[in-house]
Amino acid sequence: MKIKSEAKDVAAYKGDVLIVNLFEGVAKPGGATGAIDAALGGAVSKLIKRGEFKGRKEETAVLPGGGKIGAERVVLVGLGKKEAFGADAARLAASVSINKAKAMKAVRIGTVAHGAGAGGLSPEQSGRAIAEGAILGGYGFDKYISTKKGKDGDAVEVTILIKEKADAIAAGRGLRTGVIMAESANLARDMVNEPPNVLTPGELAARAKSISRSSGLKIKVFGKSEIVKMKMGAFLGVARGSHDSPVFIEMKYEGNPKSEKNLALIGKGITFDSGGISLKPSNSMEDMKSDMSGAAAVICAMRAIAALRPKINVTALVPAIDNMPGGNAQKVGDIVRAMNGKTIEVLNTDAEGRLILSDAVCYAAKKKMSPIIDVATLTGACIVALGTLRTGLFSTNDELAAAISAAGEACGERMWRMPTDEEYKELLKSDIADMKNVGGRNGGAITGALFIESFADGAPWAHLDIAGTSFMDKKDRYYKKGATGVGARTLAQLAVDMATR
Ligand code: BES
Ligand code: ZN
Ligand code: ZN
């Protein structure tokens, strides 16, 4: 799919489909939709009057151009209620309407800039939202389907139509950012959707290497012997149960070489979570190939960051292995020692994410990276708390939490701040080691987060629990069933925001 912007009158646009929009409850369309309505002899107004189109989110209607306008057909898309409108509603409208046009076999698609004007978005924001909606909404994972029809989307050309030249240029700027963001997120989705027999720790490292090569990032992949040398005992404990070898990936972007400051993005890279000896029931295991969604998010955020070039240093760290119950697997009751010397009593081998992340956080803290942000499909408890819409945001630093939340909001990746009171740490006290790796059912997402925090050595830290938001079990907004790539865009946005602040 190609996307561009052009200063052009919508009625004059010559193509297969022209997309116009409508807010819910509007009886008489204005702006570009009003102009098309007038050109079509009031066809849009008639639909509204007859109650055949209400302007609801995800609602579409098709009208013939009938030679009265440049386009063959018109797709009318609902924007939902005006009070609730924002960039994310524009993303959804773009996704829905462009997919509709594609289903109609349209190749040349023109679209109004949703929300630029009455919706309160700038042309730049609108251009970005449309590009993201089109690319995220157009994603599919069909490489293992033998009878697939072949890619029809490649020839599609979407043109964002805006009257004023300056606005079209601004929309173009926005859409270029949107393309980088959405393509990076889709790359993360590819990694997550890949079956676990293909996406092994080695394959994850190979993909990180390939991204680094094409993006001009530095990368180092530490193997088992180096992980042993670094004394990452918590990570190695998890790795014992697997016949595969663990890897520790470090990717570096140096956007501000003069600065000492270095943002650390740490992703949980469990390429399959069986639970280990604390084996999961079969149905809970079905989607556990997605337990490396945090890793995919940080690796692909680095791709976006390299393309957007913010003036900031960023390092991505990924400990990767599958969590398996092999004969040599760690046992319930084992005590392991993390890189910083702290001992951990492993009372549930299924709470493995925090174990591998603790060593990665130690590594970041030792290298004085700051702030440290980890992203992980950490707990089922977070899904119970927040469902699949909002990511759990945990931080002991208000400023950092606000910055991450704002970056997420801008990307349509909503977060919800969760508590991190010191007292919750009581639940992680062990009788015979410095800590235990589980704090019981109550407040499970919080104790999981605070376990990781205790390895940050006082550095500003935040944790994103994406267990609920990284993988959809059915179509959801502009996401198909499967991986969402959540985190990739938000973390890149955060790096850009931090560089300009
Ligand atoms: N990978 C899981 C968390 C998860 C669950 C992610 C469902 C996505 C969907 C994690 O490693 C895990 O098993 N956590 C345990 C922790 C518990 C043993 C303290 C959980 O949530 O049950
Ligand atoms: Zn687990
Ligand atoms: Zn896990």
In the chain, the largest separation of any two C-alpha atoms, in whole Å, equals: 81
Question: CA-based angle 161:166:172, to the nearest 5?
Answer: 55
Length of the chain: 501
Q: Give the per-residue pLDDT at 151.
A: 62
Query: Which atom of ligand 1 approaches the CA of 350 most closely?
Result: 13
* Among 146, 181, 216, residue at a domain's last position: 181
* 3-class state of residue 61 by DSSP: strand
Q: How far is the CA of 355 from the centre of ligand 3 (A)?
A: 10
Closest ligand 1 atom to 278 CA: 18
Q: Specify if 186 maps to a domain.
A: no
Q: Give the number of C-alpha atoms closer than 13 A to the C-alpha of residue 410, restricted to the C-beta side.
A: 23
pLDDT-derived band at 148 (thresholds 50, 70, 90) equals: confident
Rounded mean pLDDT, 103-132 = 97
Last residue of a domain, one of 148, 181, 214: 181
Q: Which residue out of 284, 350, 354 has the highest number of ligand 1 atoms within 8 Å of its CB and is therefore the one to mutate?
A: 350
The pair of three-digit structure tokens given for residue 413, joined into one six-digit string: 């990746």
Residue with tokens 């990180």: 208
Distance 274 CA to ligand 2 centre (A): 7
| C-alpha span between 167 and 258 (Å, rounded) | 36
- Shortest-distance atom of ligand 1 to CA 444: 19
Mean pLDDT of 171-186: 98
282 and 152 in one domain?
no
Task: State mean pLDDT over 321-341.
Answer: 98
Q: What is the mean pLDDT of the segment spanning 211-216?
A: 98
- The answer to whether position 164 is within a domain reads yes
Ligand 1, atom 18: closest residue by C-alpha: 351
Residues 313 and 372 in one domain: yes
Closest atom of ligand 1 to CA, residue 448: 19
Indicate whether 58 and 156 sit together in one domain.
yes
9 in the same domain as 31: yes
Q: What is the pLDDT of residues 225-238, one digit of tens each?
A: 999 999 999 999 99
Closest Cα to atom 7 of ligand 1:
380
User: DSSP assignment, residue 66?
Assistant: T
Tell me if 188 is assigned to some domain.
no
Instruction: Give the C-alpha separation, 330 to 345, whole Å.
Output: 11
**Closest by alpha carbon to 331, among 278, 272, 379, 285?**
278
Q: Reply yes or no on whether the pLDDT at 152 is more than 70.
A: no
The verdict on 83 and 109 lying in the same domain is: yes
Strand partners, 465: 376, 392
Q: Mean pLDDT across the chain, nearest whole number? A: 97
| Whether 200 and 118 share a structural domain | no
Note the pLDDT of residue 117. 85
Under 8 Å between Cβ of 237 and 334: yes
Is residue 466 within 8 Å of 418, Cβ to Cβ?
no
d(CA 98, CA 169): 21
Q: Which residue has a Cα nearest atom 22 of ligand 1? A: 380
Dist. CA 122–CA 120, nearest whole Å: 7
Please tell me the number of the ligand nearest to residue 378's CA: 1
Supply the residue whose CA is at minimum distance from atom 17 of ligand 1. 351
Q: Mind giving me the DSSP string for 239-257?
A: HTT-SSPPEEEEEEEES-T
Say yes or no: 171 and 210 in one domain: no
Based on the domain organization, do 460 and 384 belong to the same domain?
Answer: yes
- CA torsion, ordered 302, 308, 312, 315, to nearest 10 deg: 10
Q: Which residues pair with 313 in a beta bridge?
A: 254
378/386 Cα distance (integer angstroms) = 13
Query: Do 22 and 112 meet the contact criterion of CB atoms below 8 Å apart?
Result: no
Q: Please, what is the angle between helix 201-215 and helix 293-308, to 10°? A: 10
Residues 206 and 291 in one domain: yes
Residue nearest to atom 16 of ligand 1 (CA): 351
**Which pair of tokens denotes residue 23?**
């807010």
Residues catalogued as catalytic = 280, 354
User: Ligand 2 centre and the CA of 167: distance in Å?
Assistant: 49
**Exposure of 262 in the CB half-sphere (CA atoms within 13 A):** 20
Rg of the chain, C-alpha, whole Å: 24
Ligand (nearest to CA of 379): 1
- Tell me: do 161 and 198 sit in the same domain: no
Whether residue 465 lies inside any domain: the answer is: yes
Within-domain flag for 132: yes
Domain encompassing residue 49: 2-181
- DSSP character at residue 116: B
Q: Ligand 1 mean position to 378 CA, how many Å?
A: 6
The pTM assigned to this predicted structure is 0.98
| Main-chain dihedrals φ then ψ at residue 4, nearest 5 degrees | -145, 170
User: 332 C-alpha vs ligand 2 centroid, how far in Å?
Assistant: 13
Phi-psi region of 303 (alpha: psi -120 to 50; beta: other; left: phi over 0): alpha
Q: Give the H/E segment covering residue 385.
A: helix 380-386
Residue 444, judged by CB atoms within 10 A of its CB (0-12, 13-18, 19+), counts as: buried
φ/ψ of residue 106, rounded to 5: -70, 140
110: in domain: yes
Q: What pLDDT, on the 0 to 100 scale, is given for residue 150?
A: 62
The values of phi and psi at residue 64, to 5°, are: -75, 145
Q: Is the pLDDT at 154 greater than 90, yes or no?
A: no
Taking the centre of ligand 1 as the mean of its atom positions, its distance from the CA of residue 215, in whole angstroms, is 33
Closest residue by CA, ligand 1 atom 5: 380
Run of H or E including 76 = strand 73-78
Which CATH number do you get for residue 160? 3.40.220.10
Instruction: Give the per-residue pLDDT at 15.
Output: 97
CATH code (residue 422)? 3.40.630.10
Atom of ligand 1 nearest to the CA of 348: 18
Judged by its nearest atom, the ligand closest to the C-alpha of residue 470 is 1
Residue 187 covered by a domain: no
User: Which ligand ends up closest to the CA of 448?
Assistant: 1
Task: List residues near ligand 1 (CB under 6 A).
Answer: 273, 291, 348, 350-353, 377-381, 438, 444, 467
Average of per-residue pLDDT across 362-372: 98
Residue 386 lies in a domain: yes
Compute the distance from residue 467 Cα to the ligand 1 centre, in Å: 8
372, 491 contact by CB (below 8 A): no
- From 379, 386, 452, the mutation candidate for ligand 1 (largest count of ligand atoms within 8 A of CB) is 379
Q: How confident is the model at residue 190 (pLDDT cuts 50, 70, 90)?
A: very high
Single residue among 153, 181, 209 that ends a domain in this structure: 181
172 and 221, same domain (yes or no): no
Rounded average pLDDT over 406-421: 98
- Is there a cis peptide before residue 371, judged by omega within 30 degrees of 0? yes
Name the residue with tokens 């014992």: 240
Pick the atom of ligand 1 nearest to 441's CA: 19
**Calpha distance 140→142 (Å, rounded):** 6
Q: Which residues surround ligand 2, an ion (CB under 5 A)?
A: 273, 350, 352
Whether 164 and 243 share a structural domain: no
Question: What pLDDT, on the 0 to 100 scale, is given for residue 501?
Answer: 80
What proportion of the chain, given as a percentage, has pLDDT over 70? 99
Structural domains in the chain (count): 2
